[in-house]
Amino acid sequence: MSILHILETAFRGTIEEQDDTVIWTVHAMRKAGQEGSVVLQGNIVGHAVRGQDATGLQFGDHPQTNPVDLAGDMQKLMAAGVPIYVVEGDAADRGIAGADLIAGVQLIDRAGVAGLADSHDLVWHW
Amino acid sequence: MADQKTLTFVLMDAPYENARTTTALRLMHIAAKRGHEINVFAYEGAVYLPFALQKAHPNPVHGKDAEEEDHVLPREWVAEVMAEAERNGGKVDWINCGFCVDERGAHEAIEGVRRGGPPNLVAWVGESDNVLVIPTK
Amino acid sequence: MADYMLIASRDPFSTNDVPTYYALARDLKERGNTVTLFLVQNGVLPARPSAASDLLTSLSELGITVLADEFSLRERGIPANGLAPGVAAAPLDLVVDHLESGAKTLWN
């Protein structure tokens, strides 16, 4: 049983949660033995961009000591055996070139999402 | 029942924020009327759907007191779905994401709600006839 | 080939993610799958003959079944007998039918 996770909602709650909650869930499910793959489409292609920096937030005397590291979390997810695909056209539309993305993500075209859907047992569109 | 299915729903929206909550409950109610086994994994704000301290209020714009307004409480609709499933030979197994409960202080839940995490969801994926994720946006 | 149920709860007037979702329905159909697009909530808005309803009609012409939730239509004052060509009103029960049968069911 394998799940294709299609993600498109970007930078939602990431500062408070200190991660992307869906990437976190996919990783937690992987640790519990669940097979799956991830597609980033729409604005969330930005989660795979190099050079993100969410450090420096501080409210009064309370700094955020563990700021979100979206790219790092995705690299850990890939290291755990979950491939991550990025819809190349969605990145290009947003001025993001392949060279701007973290190592390891795989570029696909729009029609490739349907092919991935067919090759997985379940498709979860987050 | 011969045609009983196990259907798992993953919910993410907090109550009163989006019609997705209503549609999710409508889908579960249909499944409950058919006597299916229904699993619900409530993630993020959805842990407040069965929050026991939800309270109806008057509506001064409508000019109605709390009783006349009869305001919808999602915890009551959740309980009704649970009861409907049991009446028809099914059941609702509702898990609130424990970390989500802790960070939101949503510990008081109606009867029938238990605490869990992603490993429970993985187990349900293997046991279910189908899974529908209804994400927040 | 698989049976897909794509639930669309959002509308193309609000976000460009919706045409992308329609494109997924098209791509799945072109791969030989059976595809149903079920509109619910504001997803039914383009079912009213409008600037965006051609998107739904063109999906229907590809062989995709395009349905609109009866309650969501009524809630928005959209007559079920006046929908865009290729779109039909249907009860939400149909989604549960597809879940029961094991269709790959997506929400957007």
Q: In this predicted model, what pLDDT tens digit does every residue of A59-115 receive, in sequence order?
A: 999 999 999 999 999 999 999 999 999 999 999 999 999 999 999 999 999 999 999
For residue C80, the domain's CATH number is: 3.40.1260.10
CA A23 to chain centre: 6
Average confidence (pLDDT) per 10 residues, chain B, 137 residues: 90 98 98 98 98 97 96 97 98 98 98 98 98 97
Which one, of A100, A77, A103, lies nearest residue A7 by Cα?
A: A77
- Which residues span the domain enclosing B82? 6-134
C31: distance to nearest CA of chain A, Å? 8
In chain B, which among 22-61 make CB contacts under 8 A with chain C?
Answer: 23, 26-27, 30-31, 34, 36
Q: Which residue is listed with tokens 């946006």?
A: B137
User: Are the C-beta atoms of C95 and C105 separated by less than 8 Å?
Assistant: yes
- Residue environment code for C81-93, b if the CB has 16+ CB neighbours within 10 A, otherwise e: eebbebbebbebe
Residues in chain C with CB shorter than 8 Å from the CB of A8 are: 17, 20
Tokens of A115: 């092919």
The C-alpha atoms of residue B111 and residue A38 are separated, in whole angstroms, by 36
Which one, of C29, C25, C30, lies nearest residue C6 by Cα?
A: C25
Residues in chain A with CB shorter than 8 Å from the CB of B116 are: none
pLDDT value at position A116?
A: 98
Residue of A nearest to B97 (CA): A25
Facing residue for C31 by CB, picked from A90, A118, A123 = A118
A106: distance to nearest CA of chain C, Å? 19
Q: What topology is assigned to A2-125 in CATH? A: Hypothetical Protein Ychn; Chain: A, (3.40.1260)
pLDDT value at position B2?
A: 58
Q: Which residue is listed with tokens 């097979």?
A: A35
Tokens of A106: 């795989």
Tokens of A36: 């799956």
In this complex, is the C-beta atom of C42 within 8 Å of any C-beta atom belonging to chain B?
A: yes
Number of domains in chain C: 1
The C-alpha atoms of residue A38 and residue B131 are separated, in whole angstroms, by 17
Residue B123 backbone dihedrals phi, psi, to 5 degrees: -60, -40
The C-alpha atoms of residue B119 and residue C31 are separated, in whole angstroms, by 34
| Residue B130 in domain | yes
Amino acid symbol at A79: A
For residue B34, the domain's CATH number is: 3.40.1260.10
User: Hey, which chains touch B, using 3+ CB pairs under 8 Å?
Assistant: A, C
| Residue B1 in domain | no
Q: In this predicted model, what pLDDT tens digit does every residue of A3-27 receive, in sequence order?
A: 999 999 999 999 999 999 999 999 9
Residue of A nearest to B99 (CA): A17
User: Domain map of chain A by residue range?
Assistant: 2-125
Instruction: Verify whether the Cβ–Cβ distance B130 to C10 is below 8 Å.
Output: no
Facing residue for C2 by CB, picked from A90, A110, A118 = A118
Instruction: Verify whether the Cβ–Cβ distance A9 to B135 is below 8 Å.
Output: yes
pLDDT value at position B130?
A: 98
Confidence band, pLDDT 50/70/90 cuts, at residue C54: very high
Does pLDDT of A2 surpass 90?
Answer: yes
pLDDT value at position A47?
A: 98
- The radius of gyration computed from the CA coordinates of chain B, to the nearest angstrom, equals 15
Residue of C nearest to B136 (CA): C108
In this complex, is the C-beta atom of A117 within 8 Å of any C-beta atom belonging to chain C?
A: yes
Tokens of C37: 């697009």
Amino acid symbol at C6: L
Residues in chain A with CB shorter than 8 Å from the CB of C28 are: 114, 117-118
Number of domains in chain B: 1
In this complex, is the C-beta atom of C94 within 8 Å of any C-beta atom belonging to chain B?
A: no
| Average per-residue pLDDT for chain C | 98
The C-alpha atoms of residue A30 and residue C43 are separated, in whole angstroms, by 32
Which one, of A62, A46, A57, A28, lies nearest residue A101 by Cα?
A: A46
SS (H, E, C) chain B: CCCCCEEEEEECCCCCCCHHHHHHHHHHHHHHHCCCEEEEEECHHHHHCCECCCCCCCECCCCECHHHHCCCCHHHHHHHHHHHHHHCCCEEEEEEEHHHHHHHCCCCECCCEEEECHHHHHHHHHHCCEEEEECCC
**Secondary structure (3-state) at C50:** coil
- Which residues span the domain enclosing C70? 3-107
Mutate to test the interface with C, among A43, A45, A87, A118 (most CBs of C within 10 A): A118
Region C3-20: mean pLDDT is: 97
What lies within 8 Å, CB to CB, of C24 at 6+ separation is: A113, A114, A117, C6
Amino acid symbol at A75: Q
Query: ipTM higher than 0.85?
Result: yes
Facing residue for B31 by CB, picked from C96, C102, C107 = C96
